[in-house]
Amino acid sequence: MMLIESLLSVDKSGQVPVYLQISNGIINYIRQGTLKPGSALPASRVLAASLNVHRKTVVAAYDELYAQSWVDVIARKGIYIAKNLPDVAPRPIEKAVLKHSLANKTSFNVDDNRINPQRMFVEMPDGNITFTEGFPDTRIAPVDLMVREYRRMAGYHFTHKYLMYGLEQGSENLRNELARFLGETRGLHVTPNDILITKGVQMALYLCAQVLINKNDIVIVGNPGYSGANEVFEQAGARLEFVPVDDYGIDINAVETICKAQKVRMLYVVPHHHQPTTVTLSSERRMRLLELAAKYQFAIIEDDYDFDFHYTSGPILPLASVDYYGNVIYVGSFCKTIAPGIRIGFMVAPTNFLRQATRLRRLIDRQGEHLLEEAMASLLKNGDISRHLKKANKLYHERRDILCKLLQEHLGDYISFKIPCGGFAIWVKYLHDLDTAVVSEKANELGLSIGAGHDYYYDKTFKHGFVRIGFASLNEKEMHEAVNIWKKAILKCLPKI
């Protein structure tokens, strides 16, 4: 039995108890066929001496093996690998068996291209200033208020019910408060039954796609547009039809042309601060779009992810606020209101659709995080969210103006842009045929993370010269540093004359 004694090793400084290291090591050798059913294990004293551990530690390891039915204990004879275990063909012995990991590849077939998103989270280099593509400043997030609500609920005698299963549609308190909030801010006359709580807009888009889209259904999207939505629709089997986006939003004439030629299942639109161009869909185009949806009977997914942030004028009310025909599915989120890590979104839709979406949500994720939803309900009820929005709007308005001034003063000869009326970002056009990817690479080397401009148009090879620059997440000092680095990067990338 020198084989098992020589193969096993323990790390006394590790977090895993030594007796479990021993038992897990023996189990791994059984699984890989090194230890055969019916073979004897060394006496506890012998193994303890070999591993330089106390005999009681080995006894505890053997007890664990017995409890899990890996070994048989025969009186006055010893401990043996259980005879009823399958006889596995030996595999190469892993030297670091205690650090055994899963195989890199399955033995069954997996289509490596079945789910192949173009947009993946990229971790920014440590120390770099980052121009996000439009995120809030998490440093001003009302986390202390959220924690306050968690603590307050912890003291309630009925808190235990929030730790059990709840309604698939989401917290009733949150849906009540959300119905009131949406009525006051967006003119949506809805009840709690009209709302489904989701984990952000992305989950809402996925639910919509899976409920509505069949293979080769036509979905109209803007180009440039939000690739994260396009990928969801294509994954569901849709064929995308693209319409241009100008200063007034998606081209409704192009939408109508498509509708006359083929059956359209769905249209996706970001009416406020379009992703990525930041433009707002005009009132006239909104009215025409609703009429087209009624006439040609297609669904509209209205993604109003940052409705709450306007700086120069009041927002145009959502399409859903005047949807008399039942064509609009309205989705939004608190991920931009508070922080991307706070995953609370919502969907407002006609009853029959919402019922299907709720059933599907239950299959994906039994329910949301009940305590988080209850805390959010309290923040809405107490007016904390409204106060935070007022504070954030003022701050982001100031930051927009500061960055636009810096860009004009320091980069006016190299870029062009229009001041956005709201949201978190500026849509910037490079001049002098500057390559967005080359500028991004050079800026990254100098300490500034900035988009490479690949994700905006469906054709990733299209050289459009645009980049989306977020201003909300940087303070004034950081913006000065970022613009200085950006200018240095641009100067290094200017075509040689």
Q: What is the mean pLDDT of each run of 10 residues along the chain (497 residues)?
A: 71 90 89 87 90 93 92 90 84 51 68 68 68 89 85 68 74 94 92 94 95 96 95 95 96 97 97 93 94 95 90 87 91 84 90 94 82 88 92 95 97 95 94 93 94 86 89 95 96 81
CA distance 232 to 283: 28
Last residue of a domain, one of 364, 386, 408: 386
Last residue of a domain, one of 354, 386, 418: 386
Instruction: Kindly report the CATH number assigned to the domain that includes residue 451.
Output: 3.90.1150.10
409 & 465 share domain: yes
Distance from chain centroid for Cα 313: 30
Residue written as token pair 């900035």: 450
CA distance 105 to 110: 9
With beta carbons less than 8 A apart as the criterion, state whether 430 and 436 touch: yes
pLDDT at 1: 43
The structural domain count of the chain equals 3
254 inside domain: yes
214 & 308 share domain: yes
Selection from 131, 182, 140, 196 nearest residue 389 by Cα:
140
3-state DSSP of the chain: CHHHHHHCCCCCCCCCCHHHHHHHHHHHHHHCCCCCCCCECCCHHHHHHHHCCCHHHHHHHHHHHHHCCCEEEECCCEEEECCCCCCCCCCCCCCCHHHCCCCCCCCCCCCCCCCCCCCCCCCCCCCCEECCCCCCCHHHCCHHHHHHHHHHHHCCCCHHHHHCCCCCCCCHHHHHHHHHHHHHHHCCCCCHHHEEEECHHHHHHHHHHHHHCCCCCEEEEEECCCHHHHHHHHHCCCEEEEEEEECCEECHHHHHHHHHHCCEEEEEECCCCCCCCCCCCCHHHHHHHHHHHHHHCCEEEEECCCCCCECCCCCCCCHHHHCCCCCEEEEEECCCCCCCCCCCEEEECCHHHHHHHHHHHHHHCCCCCHHHHHHHHHHHHHCHHHHHHHHHHHHHHHHHHHHHHHHHHHHCCCEEECCCCECCEEEEEECCCCCHHHHHHHHHHHCEECCCCCCCCCCCCCCCCEEEEECCCCCHHHHHHHHHHHHHHHHHHCCCC
Predicted TM-score (pTM) of this structure: 0.82
C-alpha torsion sign, points 89, 93, 94, 97 = positive
Give φ, ψ of 27 to 5 degrees: -60, -45
pLDDT at 104: 66
266 & 361 share domain: yes
C-alpha triplet 114, 215, 235: angle, nearest 5°: 35
With beta carbons less than 8 A apart as the criterion, state whether 257 and 209 touch: no
309 inside domain: yes
166 & 44 share domain: no
120 inside domain: no
Helix 227-235 and helix 200-212: axis angle, to 10°? 30
pLDDT at 212: 95
334 & 252 share domain: yes
pLDDT at 97: 43
242 & 187 share domain: yes
293 inside domain: yes
258 & 345 share domain: yes
Selection from 457, 455, 425 nearest residue 440 by Cα:
455
Selection from 354, 300, 357 nearest residue 325 by Cα:
300
108 inside domain: no
Last residue of a domain, one of 99, 116, 150: 99
pLDDT at 53: 92
- In the beta sheet, which residues pair with residue 470? 425
Instruction: Kindly report the CATH number assigned to the domain that includes residue 13.
Output: 1.10.10.10
Give φ, ψ of 2 to 5 degrees: -70, -20
148 & 63 share domain: no
What residues contact 446, with CB distance under 8 A and at least 6 apart? 485, 488, 489
Selection from 431, 438, 371, 474 nearest residue 136 by Cα:
474
CA distance 201 to 208: 11
- In the beta sheet, which residues pair with residue 465? none
pLDDT at 99: 47
186 & 236 share domain: yes
193 & 266 share domain: yes
pLDDT at 483: 97
275 inside domain: yes
Query: Residue 182's domain spans which residues?
Result: 139-386
402 & 489 share domain: yes
208 inside domain: yes
112 inside domain: no
Whole-angstrom distance between the N-terminal and C-terminal Cα of the chain? 78
Instruction: Kindly report the CATH number assigned to the domain that includes residue 296.
Output: 3.40.640.10
274 & 418 share domain: no
